[in-house]
Amino acid sequence: MLTRIDHIGIACFDLDATVEFYRATYGFEVFHTEVNEEQGVREAMLRINGTDDGGASWIQLLEPTREDSTVAKWLAKNGEGVHHIAFGTDDVDGAAETIGGRGVRVLYDEPRRGSMGSRITFLHPKDCHGVLTELVTSATSAPEGESGGH
């Protein structure tokens, strides 16, 4: 059902400075950037391994775009750090239904748009031993919107 770690989401105050840290320290380059207005984030995706077939693993750096976003709220309380983990699945609808049936709160009735055209939903951290957990099905098509770096 869940086949891989799709990404680790890391909340930061300054996306450009954090991108530069990951480049200078680890050699990870930005593959894609976008603004997700619904989620209230500007994000950069750094590919750690894998290819363009939808099975890659990423570091996702997240900067809030507005004060009332979930990431802004989380940063104000916790400071920078790991915000969520995302598991990859070929079937986010089915995985959400199965996991919801096991008593875990699924935060969205229907999956929403995630990074690079993916479909995502979240599980409540209080039902997951303190970890905000995302389920994601990658888009197999090329990403749309703002992109760069590759």
> Residue numbers of the site for ligand MC0 (CB under 6 A)?
9, 36, 39, 41, 43, 60, 62, 70-71, 73-74, 83-84, 86, 107, 114-115, 118, 120, 122, 124-126, 130, 132, 134
Identity of the residue, 1 or 78, whose beta carbon is nearer to ligand MC0 in the bound complex: 78
Phi, psi (degrees; rounded to nearest 5) at 148:
175, 175
Query: What is the secondary structure of 52-72 as a DSSP string?
Result: TTS--EEEEEEEESSTTSHHH
Quick check: is 39 catalytic? no
Helix (H, G, I), strand (E, B) or coil at 87: strand
Identity of the residue, 24 or 120, whose beta carbon is nearer to ligand MC0 in the bound complex: 120
* 137: Cβ contacts below 8 Å, ≥ 6 apart: 88, 89, 90, 91, 92, 111, 118, 119, 120
| Least distance to ligand MC0, CB of residue 113, Å | 8
Quick check: is 84 catalytic? yes
Identity of the residue, 29 or 73, whose beta carbon is nearer to ligand MC0 in the bound complex: 73
Indicate which residue of 134, 144, 146, 150 is catalytic: 134
Indicate which residue of 34, 39, 60, 63 is catalytic: 60
**C-alpha angle 115/116/120, rounded to 5°?**
45
Quick check: is 7 catalytic? yes
